Amino acid sequence: MIADFNAYSYLLQHDIKPSVQRLAIVNYLYEHRTHPTADEIYEGLLDEIPTLSKTTVYNTLNLFQQQAAVLALTIDDKNVRFDIDTSDHAHFKCLNCGKVFDVPAVLNSVTSVTLEQGFLVTEKHLYLKGYCSSCNNLSK
């Protein structure tokens, strides 16, 4: 499942000094593509690292963001969600079950939006909301 992913070199590639906690968080994000919250990551790692503190999870995720090793999603207005997949895609949040799905959108094509002169775009987020197939079928 972890396949050829090397958490250690992933951190080095992003100029992040590896540690037990940092490696665990990267691996958690690599294995759980559910766009977890800081709290979900913390809870998910407690068995593995019982001494882990939530502060460390927040510190680490903030560091990862700075180094562009993860993407912070604000599709949820309650808490920030994290995605280790920084490739070109959009997100869909089901308003019923709350799950956040990856959507294979081509965000680059969105670049066609007309920006004023001198605006420099460094980040693009396309958030879709509605009802996923499971929740949508229930109401039929």
Partner DNA sequence: TTCACTGCAAATCATTTGCAAGGCC
Partner DNA sequence: GGCCTTGCAAATGATTTGCAGTGAA
Positions that interact with a copy of itself (CB under 8 A): 72, 74-77, 80, 90, 92, 95, 101, 103-106, 109-110, 112-133, 136-137
6 is in the binding site of which of DNA, a copy of itself, none (Cβ under 5 to 8 A by kind)?
A: none
* 59: DSSP letter: H
Q: Which of 2, 3, 17, 123 binds DNA (CB under 7 A)?
A: 17
Give the nearest distance from C-beta 75 to DNA in angstroms.
12
Q: Taking a C-beta distance cutoff of 8 angstroms, is the pair 52, 46 a contact?
A: yes
Q: Taking a C-beta distance cutoff of 8 angstroms, is the pair 73, 37 a contact?
A: no
116 is in the binding site of which of a copy of itself, DNA, none (Cβ under 5 to 8 A by kind)?
A: a copy of itself
For residue 104, the SS3 value is: coil
For residues 56 and 137, give the distance between their C-alpha atoms in angstroms, rounded to a whole number. Answer: 41
Q: Taking a C-beta distance cutoff of 8 angstroms, is the pair 35, 81 a contact?
A: yes
Taking the least distance from each CB to a copy of itself, the nearer of 23 and 75 is 75
Q: Which of 33, 54, 124, 125 binds DNA (CB under 7 A)?
A: 54
Residues 6+ apart with CB under 8 A from 97: 132, 134, 135
Which residues lie near DNA (CB under 7 A)?
A: 17, 19-22, 37-39, 49, 51-56, 58-60, 62, 77-80
